[in-house]
Amino acid sequence: MALLRPRTIRGQLIASLVLFELLVLALFAVFLIREQQKELQQRVDRRLEYQGSQLALQASAVLKRGDTSVLQALVSSMLQYPSVGSVQITDLQGMTMVGSDAAMNGKLNLTPVERNYLRSLQKPTLFTLKDNVREIVAPVHINGELRALVWIYPNEDADRLQLHSLLRITLISAVIAILGCTLLATFMARTITKPLNVLMQATRQIVRDPEDTSSFPLHVSSANEAADLTMAFNMMVSSIEEQRSGLNDTLALLDSMLANAPIGFAFFDRKFRFVRVNQFLADMNHTSISRHLGRTVFEVFPESAAIPMQRGIDSVFESGSAVQDLELTGELDMHPVRVRSWLVNIYPVHTSTNAVRWVGAVIVDTTQRRNSEDALRKTEKLAAAGRLAASIAHEINNPLEAVTNLLYLIRLQDSLGAETRQYVELAQHEVARVSEITQQTLRFYRQSTLPITANVSELLDSVLTLHQGRVTTLQVEVQRIYQPDVELFCFVGEMRQLFANLIGNALDAMTPGPGRLVLSVRRSRSWRDPSVEGVRFSVFDTGCGMSDEVLSRIFEPFFTTKEATGTGLGLWVSAEIIRKHHGAIRIRSRAYADTGTSSHGTGFMIFFPLVRSEEAVAESLPASSQVV
């Protein structure tokens, strides 16, 4: 029904008028037809009474004379009337004496309804059969005595034709009346809808382009309600234009502030989704503005930061009070700086009904400030450690000189055995290395001696000898893979310190044992520039291994996993030694917690170029978790 309903005023007016005309004409036609049917029925009844009376009188005269042959001619003459369908004359028992159908003469041809009238009748009687067919029966009296009955059946075809003609005339009149009303309604609707169509076109133009008001003010050509509506519409558009101008200025100021402010702005709905962000926040998160919109805080920020931010947003929606100075931290795998921190202030955005429609957030990235503070604290720690180390080194240096002199005097004794003399020489080397370390500490990495060419395998074995006791206690199997006569131009004391740190860490990782320690020394080429020749030194162990988080921080000062027994300076100093010798390091490790099998451990692979030059490849310190 809704589809058949006109959508325009013109269509509604025409449809309403046509419907009204159809209703009036239908009522008029029903009334007219009923009156015509009633009048037609009365005319038929009068005609049947007349025809029945006349036929009864004529039949009475004929029967009185006893000339029954004339009855058939009399009946046949009645059939000449268009209004007569059939005629028959019966006796009082219902037997047909004469009928329009001669084959029925002498037979009982009356229906049950007609047999009810086989009685004494004083005058013609009209009655209706079951099919609404009218019929008349008239008595035939001879000398006052009832002798026969005359039955006349009318022919209604002519009457029906007249009624149909009347209906046709009525229908034609209705069509003409409807067309005339439609034309009149169309003309009237045009005068009413023309100004409304102008308003509609102007409204659609504003919807398509709100900034285009070139067609306003609309022309007013009449003085009716449509003209008043057009004038009101012109005033409304003028007012909207003024308000839009002021709103555009305000929005321009806000957009400029949001776009150029050196802090991040974001707005959220009740489902914690971004509805608007500024470019600074998008650049801060290294994600475009379009990839922020419609996403939740969990899809943009790490979980550790998203949970408290979502709680703060929910609190502002519920209470309408701002949440200030909310500090967040989290790790971003796809960001160059994995651990980041933010300072967030969350505030409500109210509607005209004072309800909280959105929640805004001012987000400041404090990662750089936090890193600067951490670096400052580490620098202060390093400075304090340097001062403490210098003080300790100064106090240790004096007894070291005494121990050095005593070892020299012991070595001059002729009674010493060859093995004892070898141990004394080794002790002298180690004491000299300790003295050298103290001098380096006092002079802040100013080398007290010149670099020399040293045999790397011998240096490695000398360091391994110092850890022999731990190797035996932990039941560590040591496997040496040395190429012969591999030499390196280096600072011997610093190289021993590097080897000692790596071997000591390997033994710590294999505690409480047992395990396997693989030491490798061979000639090699740089990983990045094959044209650079050098020496590759490797230390592999089957210890507990390191996680990715530990691998990313092992070269930070004061970072340690040994709790009370570690200082966090061993690998940091080792990295400085490697850089000083223009070396490069690669690390492969798999933690026992990640595998739960024997396939775990750590490997340090260090490359030193043979030629000390500023053009030597100085590679970075990458860490990977590849299985050893």
Residue 33 maps to which CATH number?
Answer: 3.30.450.20
pLDDT for position 534? 92
Most confident among 232-236, 378-382, 611-615 (mean pLDDT):
232-236
Residues 126 and 72 both lie in one domain: yes
DSSP annotation of 103: G
Question: pLDDT confidence of 383, banded at 50, 70, 90?
Answer: low
> Within this chain, do residues 432 and 485 fall inside the same structural domain, yes or no?
no
Mean pLDDT for the stretch of residues 146-164: 75
Do 326 and 467 sit in the same domain of this protein?
Answer: no
Q: Do 515 and 599 sit in the same domain of this protein?
A: yes
Same domain, 481 and 432: no
Where does a domain end: 365, 386, 408?
Answer: 365
More confident residue, 32 or 474: 474
Check whether residue 376 and residue 516 sit in a common domain: no
CATH number at residue 454: 3.30.565.10
Kindly state the average pLDDT of the residues 262-289.
84
- The answer as to whether 467 is a domain residue is yes
Is the whole-model pTM more than 0.85?
no
- Clarify whether residues 250 and 346 are in a common domain: no
Same domain, 502 and 569: yes
**Are 304 and 241 in a shared domain?**
no
Q: Residue 627: its pLDDT value, please? A: 33
Residue 198: inside a domain: no
Contacts of 111 (CB under 8 A, 6+ apart): 129
As for how many domains the chain has, the answer is 5
Tell whether 199 is covered by a domain.
no
* Phi–psi pair at 22, nearest 5 degrees: -65, -40
For residues 438 and 542, membership in a common domain is answered with no
Give yes or no: residues 298 and 432 share one domain. no
Give a yes or no: residue 508 inside a domain. Answer: yes
The secondary structure of 301-354 as a DSSP string is: S-HHHHHHHHHHHHHHHHH---EEEEEEEEE-TTSSSSEEEEEEEEEEEE-TTS
Residues 115 and 245 in one domain: no
Domain for residue 45, yes or no? yes
Both tokens assigned to 208 = 């398509």
Last residue of a domain, one of 161, 183, 208: 161
Kindly state whether residue 480 falls inside one of the protein's structural domains: yes
Has residue 195 been placed in a domain? Answer: no
Q: Which of 391, 423, 449 is a domain's end point?
A: 449
User: Which of the residue ranges 287-301, 399-413, 603-617 has the most confident prediction, judged by mean pLDDT?
Assistant: 287-301
- The pLDDT-based confidence of 540 (bands split at 50, 70, 90) is very high
Q: Mind listing the pLDDT tens digit for each residue in 495-514?
A: 888 888 898 888 888 888 78
CB-based burial, 502-517: b 16+ in 10 Å, e otherwise: bbebbbbbbeeeebeb
More confident residue, 6 or 257: 257
- Closest by Cα among 437, 426, 313 to 363: 313
173 within some domain: no
Residue 587 near residue 601, CB atoms below 8 Å: no
Residue 583 burial by CB count (10 A; 0-12/13-18/19+): exposed, middle or buried? buried
Range of the domain at 415: 368-449
Give the pLDDT band (50/70/90) at residue 449. Answer: low
